[in-house]
Amino acid sequence: MDKKLLTKIKRNDKLAHWGITAGGMFTIVCMLTILILIASTALPLFESPEINIVNSIDMDRSQGNIIASGLDDYIETGYVVYSSGLVHFYHLNSGALLKSLQFPQVNNIKYLQPITNHQYSIITEANKMGIASIKFSTEFDNDGKRSIVHNVAFDELEFDSTVIAKEIDIKMDEYQSIGAALLDADNKIHVLKQVKTENLFGDETVETYSSQLSDESLDSVITAFCIDDTTTHLYLGSDDGKIIVYRIEIEDEEAILTLKTTEQVNAENKPITSLAMVLGSVSVAVGDATGQLSTWFFARGDQGEKFVKAHILERHATDISKIVPFRRNKSLLSLNKNGQLHIDHMTSERHLLSLTEGAISIFGCSNRGDGLVTINENSQLDVWKLKMNHPEISWDVLFGKVWYEGHAQPEYVWQSSSGSDDYEAKFSVVPLILGTFKGTFYAMIFSVPLAIFSAIYVSQFAGNALKSWIKPIMEIMAAVPSVVVGFLIALWLAPLLKEWIVSFFVMFFVGIIILVLFITIWSVVERKPVIRRFWKGREGLIMIPLMILGIYLSAPLGIWAENILFNGDFEKWIYETVDLRYDQRNAIIIAFGLGIAVIPVIFSIAEDALSSVPKTLTAASLALGASRWQTVRNIVLLSASPGIFASVILGFARAVGETMIVLMATGNTPLMSWSPFNGMRTLSANIAVEIPEAPVGGTLYRILFLCAVLLFLLTFVLNTGAELIRQSLRKKYGRF
């Protein structure tokens, strides 16, 4: 033979060998890395927060005491406020002093309390009160270079000048109405509300209402106080560990304070040292002298509102001197007397970070929540970069009960987003997992008996002609797009079922009665061998009219039953008696929809398993005198049981992952209910519903990837289990 040709063939063979090996391995590795890639997107959810020091700058001590500090969103420039009312701006990287500004009309600040990150309510030595604010405005020049312009401002709050204020808390709502609570030299609390209204012509009018707490209504000394952003509640902390809540209402040109509730914070009756509103102004954070940091809110229960201690955060070593909320999420910065700083997230109760070195006295953080400045006892300013991407997520939030703001008790809730920033996102995946299993459970109840019974009939009793038809039909049924099934059951079946729900239940009874009746009659008729021989394998010819008859009978029977049993309206009846709302798109509908998707899967595999039981076994059983059914029940089903089990698992896995049917026909409400008359939201539908609105890299985005990981693992484990069972079966019988 031609040598050249031979070498060429050999070379080709080698090339093909390597090519196919490389290509094959590449494909397989690609497929297997899918899980890793999905998981790697979800994993940052559980990253622990990081804090890194950027720079340390020594402050000028000659200007007096530093009473506040803060920094801009780019962690580029920062400021310190001296008690003289002087503000120094620093370049944080170089430590250079950029600018020095004085708050107008402010000489010496007696008291300062943060409102938001760069706004403070202050009292001056001259008894002036008001809001001192530091403004960072970002400007871009022609080349697109960024520069930050600094400014300071002071807005005075007019109040009765005879009152000598000691401490003050000022809040603003989104309409620029101002509310303030102040403690005077006699330890009396005053409340002030300024409502700004604008008439049609754009003229502003300011109306001021004020009120004073009478002495007799308070029997303890006030140690801390705060008001909420909308000036509707006044929270007071007492020296014996009580939190007292007043409701502020404006009636007839006057602010009226009414006592709402009093709750004991700690058992030791230790004083409350600090109070602050958490972002969103629903919860109040309470720090006391035992070092306990807790958050409280009004829970709406059946018996009206109740003021509850919902979250207890990481305990401090000693008195908590200051609590400052984050402006980005529901995290809290808290400082204790020893100068240790904690960062905790309220909802997840996660202790994010502690800064324990260097006795911090003053701190401030950026609006984005990623920069922090602290000033320690040596007047040294430290600049920190924070990395806390998903503080609201913890294992407990995802899989446990969480007490959300305003809810009556801790619950599993999924409610991912809303319009506003201060919304408490609810990320419990438990309702989704429950929804997934609920849908699957009802689908399995519906489809497993049907599919396995059909498989038994087709494999054991049906004639060959029928067999050769049924199998392709089932295969085609398996290929029917789920969007088609979803559309049909949601828009055609669901309204129909709503109308005929009782008839639907009656149908089962009618079916059983008809079947039993028929079988009793038939057992007599069938004794004639001729008849029996003819109908063997042709049972369907009788069953079709019988079934149709059953369905026709149950329609009027259902109406009759509804009239008698449920006063003519089933939906009203279940609502009144068992307090269940009937949803049009409910679990029964899903049972049908998923059933249609799952039946062919279960049927095909179960049928394979059943027909691969060796004929010798059945023949032996029949020869020993067992009837057809006895053989099937005792021999065939038993031998094929691993295969049937595998088929059920595979069907289950298919139902778990089905997306379009549940997306279209469940209503997608994440409920925690097993009721067959309600909808649900499954993991898969959740992904499809939420992903278009999830910003890339955000918490929701990563949680959805986590949902995908859960789905992947669930189906992978189920499928592998089924596959292993099938392989063992294959070994046992050595065929199929």
259 or 544: CB nearest another protein: 544
Q: How many CB atoms lie within 10 A of CB 460?
A: 18
Please state the closest distance from residue 23 (CB atom) to another protein, in A.
Answer: 4
Judged by CB under 8 A, the chain residues 666 through 705 that form the site for another protein are 684, 687-688, 691-692, 696, 704-705
What's the per-residue H, E or C state across 324-364?
EECCCCCEEEEEECCCCEEEEECCCCEEEEEECCCCEEEEE
Footprint of another protein on 572-601 (CB under 8 A): 596, 599
Single out the residue of 735, 471, 482 nearest to residue 603, CA to CA. 471
30-49: contacts with another protein (CB under 8 A) = 30-32, 34, 37-38, 41
711 counts as binding another protein under rule CB under 8 A:
yes
Q: Among residues 41, 46, 180, which one has the least CA distance to residue 120?
A: 180
Taking the complex as a whole, the smallest distance from the CB of residue 500 to another protein amounts, in Å, to 12
Closer Cβ to another protein, 1 or 578, answer by number:
1
Q: Which of residues 162-221 bind another protein (CB under 8 A)?
A: none
Cβ proximity to another protein, 146 vs 628, nearer residue: 628
Q: Describe the chain by its helix, strand, coil percentages, rounded to 5.
A: 40, 30, 30
DSSP per position, 185-238: TTS-EEEEEEEEEE-TTS-EEEEEEEEE--GGG--S-EEEEEE-TTS-EEEEEE
Site for another protein in 518-547 (CB under 8 A): 518-519, 522-529, 539-540, 543-544, 546-547
Residue 290 or residue 659: which is nearer to another protein going by CB? Answer: 659
Check binding of 506 to another protein (CB under 8 A): no
Binding mask 289-328 for another protein (x = CB under 8 A): ----------------------------------------
Is 120 or 705 the residue whose CB approaches another protein more closely? 705
Q: How many residues bind another protein (CB under 8 A)?
A: 105
* Choice from 548, 549, 565, 620 touching another protein (CB under 8 A): 548
Q: Smallest gap, in angstroms, from Cβ of residue 483 to another protein?
A: 4
Instruction: Decide whether 175 or 469 has the Cβ nearer to another protein.
Output: 469
Counting contacts by CB under 8 A, is residue 487 touching another protein? yes
Q: How far is the CB of 136 from another protein (least distance, A)?
A: 25
Q: Which is nearer to another protein, 131 or 597 (CB)?
A: 597
In this chain, which of 97, 185, 465, 473 binds another protein, going by CB under 8 A? 473
Query: Does residue 25 belong to the site contacting another protein (CB under 8 A)?
Result: yes
In angstroms, the CA 227 to CA 712 distance is 48
Q: Which one of 51, 153, 256, 515 is in contact with another protein (CB under 8 A)?
A: 515
For residues 391 and 337, give the distance between their C-alpha atoms in angstroms, rounded to a whole number. 25
Residues 130-159 that bind another protein (CB under 8 A): none
Nearer to another protein, 437 or 705 (CB): 705
Which residue number, 161 or 523, has a Cβ lying nearer to another protein? 523
Q: Is 479 in the site for another protein (CB under 8 A)?
A: yes
Rule CB under 8 A: is residue 359 a binding residue for another protein? Answer: no
Interface with another protein in residues 600-659 (CB under 8 A): 603, 627-630, 633, 650, 653-654, 656-659
Binding flag, residue 231, another protein (CB under 8 A): no
CB of 366 to another protein, least distance (A): 24
Q: Which of 450, 557, 672, 700 binds another protein (CB under 8 A)?
A: 450
CB under 8 Å, gap of 24 or more: what pairs does 711-716 form? Answer: 711/656, 711/657, 711/683, 711/684, 711/687, 712/34, 712/35, 712/38, 713/35, 714/653, 714/656, 715/653, 715/656, 715/657, 716/35
Q: Are strands 146-156 and 129-140 parallel, antiparallel or unpaired?
A: antiparallel
What tokens does 593 get? 């929809």
Q: Applying CB under 8 A, which part among 87-95, 401-409, 418-426, 488-496 lies near another protein?
A: 488-496
Indicate the residue type of 74.
Answer: Y
User: Which residue, 286, 238, 290, 285, is CA-closest to 268?
Assistant: 290
Query: For residues 477 and 471, is the Cβ–Cβ distance under 8 A?
Result: no
Q: Which is nearer to another protein, 125 or 526 (CB)?
A: 526
Nearest to 628 by CA among 502, 539, 704, 736: 539
- Closer Cβ to another protein, 266 or 447, answer by number: 447
Taking CB under 8 A as the criterion, the residue among 280, 486, 558, 679 binding another protein is 486
Q: Which of 51, 101, 445, 477 binds another protein (CB under 8 A)?
A: 477
Taking the complex as a whole, the smallest distance from the CB of residue 444 to another protein amounts, in Å, to 15
Q: Which two tokens stand for residue 346?
A: 């309220």
Closest separation in Å from C-beta 81 to another protein: 38
- Number of alpha helices (DSSP H) and beta strands (DSSP E) in the chain: 17, 30
Nearer to another protein by Cβ, of 400 and 495: the residue is 495
Q: Which string of DSSP letters, residue by residue, matches 42-60?
A: HGGGGPPPEEEEEEEEE--
- First vs last Cα of the chain: how many Å apart? 44
Nearest distance, CB of residue 605 and another protein, angstroms: 12
Among 395, 492, 508, 736, binds another protein (CB under 8 A): 492
Token couple for 558: 């259902």
Name the residue nearer to another protein (CB basis): 32 or 200.
32
Both tokens assigned to 617: 């076994």
DSSP 680: B
Does residue 579 sit in helix, strand or coil?
A: coil
* Residues of span 453-472 touching another protein by CB under 8 A: 453-454, 456-458, 461-462, 470, 472
Q: What is the biggest distance separating any 2 CA atoms in the chain, rounded to whole angstroms? A: 119
> Which residue is it, tokens 């310190």?
80
Name residues contacting another protein, limited to 240-259 (CB under 8 A).
none
Give the nearest distance from C-beta 712 to another protein in angstroms.
5
Q: Pairing relation of β-strands 371-376 and 380-387?
A: antiparallel
Nearer to another protein, 12 or 176 (CB): 12
The packing angle between helices 699-733 and 683-690, to 10°, is: 140
Neighbouring-strand partners of residue 277:
284
Contact region with another protein (CB under 8 A), list: 119-127, 154-162, 345-353, 714-722 = 714-722
Nearest to 657, CA basis, from 719, 729, 734? 719
